[in-house]
Amino acid sequence: MNCFVFLLFLNTAYADIDSKKDPKLVERVYTSYCSSCHTKDKQILYFDPKKEDSEMIKSIRSGSSPMPMYAWLFTDKDLENLIEYMRITSKK
């Protein structure tokens, strides 16, 4: 029973980043989860805009030292929205 409740909780734990519902949500999620390591002086760091989205999604999901894995928190659509935000912001 406890295992079922835990799995049910994991299934509903996604961030649901929908920029159409709330345009500032992607920015807030980036600020909360990414900016401490990926932003300095308002510039995005450790981001290669030439990489394919699928490659970046795989990296974010699995993590790489020192970045933790975020497979438990973000759906592929969430990550696509975050990557799009990073692409746009890195051009500024």
CATH no. for 14-90: 1.10.760.10
Helix (H) or strand (E) holding 44: strand 43-44
Tokens of 87: 């692409």
Q: Which tens digit of pLDDT belongs to each residue from 52-88?
A: 999 999 989 998 888 888 888 888 888 998 999 888 8
Region for 75 from its dihedrals, namely left if φ exceeds 0, alpha if ψ lies in -120 to 50, beta otherwise: beta
**What is the residue extent of each domain of the chain?**
14-90
Q: Which tens digit of pLDDT belongs to each residue from 9-60?
A: 444 445 566 656 676 888 888 898 888 888 888 888 888 888 999 999 998 9
- pTM, two decimals, is 0.72
**The length of the chain, given as a count of residues:** 92
8 Å CB contact between 24 and 85: no
